[in-house]
Chains A and B, each alone.
Chain A
Amino acid sequence: MEFFTDLINAADRVFVAHWPLLLKGTIDTLLMVVFSTLGAYVLGIPLAVILKITRPGSLHPIPVVPVVIGWIVNMGRSIPYIILMIVLIPVTRAVVGSTLSIQGAIFPLIIGATPFVARMVETSFEELPPGRVEAALAFGASTMQVIWKVYLRESLPSLVRGAAISAITLIGYSAIAGALGNGGLGDVAIRYGYNRYQGDVMIVCIIILVIMVQVIQSVADLVARKIDKRI
């Protein structure tokens, strides 16, 4: 009990002393996570759809397509994010104009998370009973209608749960972006906790990150349960 009281008191002191820094870090982390999650889904969903419908036995089997995309996706996932970010520096500079700050972080975060998101979304599609796609086809649905009305609509609760996992993964990635000077709570934790030996600041950063993860997960669970019409 005493440990927790001490911890709360210490956290309180850190907040009073560093709140502008922590507030900015929190906002930066949230911005990075929100925009990169959105971006990764904008790219990842079409990729997952292409992967799904070109598989053998699916709507438009083109055996080479899932193999090539699968290979690229796996390659993307096998590069540790910190290295991917460094490798992408010239590309980021060309696309965004700067590798610093939030804008500079979001582009490599999207590139890093897209393969992950594509796999998450594809897994959600795989969970659907194949009979549902078949039923839609039997009633004359086109490929686009199957994609919208069966794959996306029927797996929506699963997609929401997957989005929480993706967003939480991106919190981790964004901390790495912090290590390369892009801001956010990761940046604060490393600069103060590691470089300046201010462990208390680092602990507070961790507490904020933990709360953030809990909130994202709880909200996603709540939404998924609300929209899921299965019992």
Chain B
Amino acid sequence: MIELRGLSKTFRSKHGSHEALRDIDLTIQDGDIYGIIGVSGAGKSTLIRCVNLLERPTSGAVIIDNDNVTNFKGYKLRNLRTKIGMIFQDFSLFAQRNVLENVMFPLEIHRGSRADALRRGRELLELVGLADKEKSYPSQLSGGQQQRVAIARALVNRPQYLLCDEATSALDSLTTNSILELLSDINRELSVTILLITHEMRVIEAICNKVAVIHAAQIVERGPTASVFAAPKEQITKQLLSTLGSKMLSKEGVSRSGGAASEASLPWPSSLSGQSTATSTLMSSSGSAPPDSPPEHSLGGP
């Protein structure tokens, strides 16, 4: 369980101070796929970076598994970070390492045996469907493939938690779907709790069971995705949902022209029956011509 208690962060510079987070309280239960949504500059990036202390909060506490980790340093901090995987908007793969070496990086850091690391690295590449790419370099992969490698790297240490910092924002919508599906599988089958931030309502809609809306450094609305979607209270939530509405319309147009679509073909966690129909229609029709085809996962236990 990840708890944020009264978390605030203020950046100070010569040009004055900027309040990125104000008094954030948040609880992420084990098993959640918790989505935090907000427009650019709302503070969501700072928020997720506070969880693994890439950013130090100005005040408040980060509590992970009932342990106040806010002031962890050195070895304790590095050890804590092995429990928390992270993926990034720009993937942040190491350009001079091949795919397998990238995936093995977290194990290399913690000095395990190389044979174990190799075995584990290949296992994870198998999981994300890139077993045949282990000798490739990141520059030779598509965006979606790079994010899969990043996911494998983030999971190689068997973390309990996975932080996703705008993980799909640099990807086209079909690739986004395949990555979201992979994240959903990981959550379900490897019992990894996921905290993600995004500016896209459809990401929340597709995989999150809980959502919090962050606006101007504060969380203005939160709850189970279904109830927030059904009865949004805040103006900003309604605005974010309306972007989804218009996208859904255009997608419906696409999938209609795409022709036949069987809704039951993919196990998709649907939070809202009304809207997810359109989503799953899109999901299944995407299977016909995927630019970055979601491969078969063989999700073995970690």
Contact = CB atoms under 8 A, between A and B. Distances in A.
A156 interface: yes
Nearest to A142: B78
Contacts of A157: 96
Contact of B78 (A131, A141, A153, A229): A141
A145 to B, nearest CB: 6
Interface string A130-167: 01101111111110010001100110110000000000
A16 interface: no
A140 B90 contact: no
Contacts of A150: 94
B86 interface: yes
A227 B95 CA distance: 11
B265 interface: no
B78 A140 contact: yes
Interface residues of B, number: 33
B5 interface: no
A153 B110 CA distance: 18
A227 B80 CA distance: 34
Given A131-B88, A231-B139, A156 B78 contact: no
B82 interface: yes
Given A138-B81, A140-B78, A229 B109 contact: no
A231 B139 CA distance: 6
Contacts of A134: 54, 88, 92
A140 B139 contact: no
Given A138-B54, A140-B82, A230 B139 contact: yes
Interface string A29-60: 00000000000000000000000000000000
Q: Which of A129, A139, A149 has the most CB of B within 10 A?
A: A139
Contact of B86 (A138, A141, A154, A230): A138
Contacts of A140: 77-82, 106, 109-110, 157
Given A156-B96, A229-B137, A141 B109 contact: yes
Nearest to B89: A131
8 contacts: A129-B90, A132-B94, A135-B88, A138-B54, A140-B82, A153-B94, A230-B96, A230-B137
Interface of B: 52, 54, 77-82, 84-86, 88, 90, 92-98, 105-106, 108-110, 137-140, 153-154, 157, 163
Interface of A: 129, 131-132, 134-142, 145, 149-150, 153-154, 156-157, 227-231
Given A131-B90, A131-B92, A135-B86, 19 more contacts: A135-B94, A136-B109, A138-B81, A138-B84, A139-B82, A139-B157, A140-B78, A140-B157, A141-B109, A142-B78, A145-B109, A149-B105, A153-B97, A154-B95, A157-B96, A227-B96, A229-B137, A229-B139, A231-B140
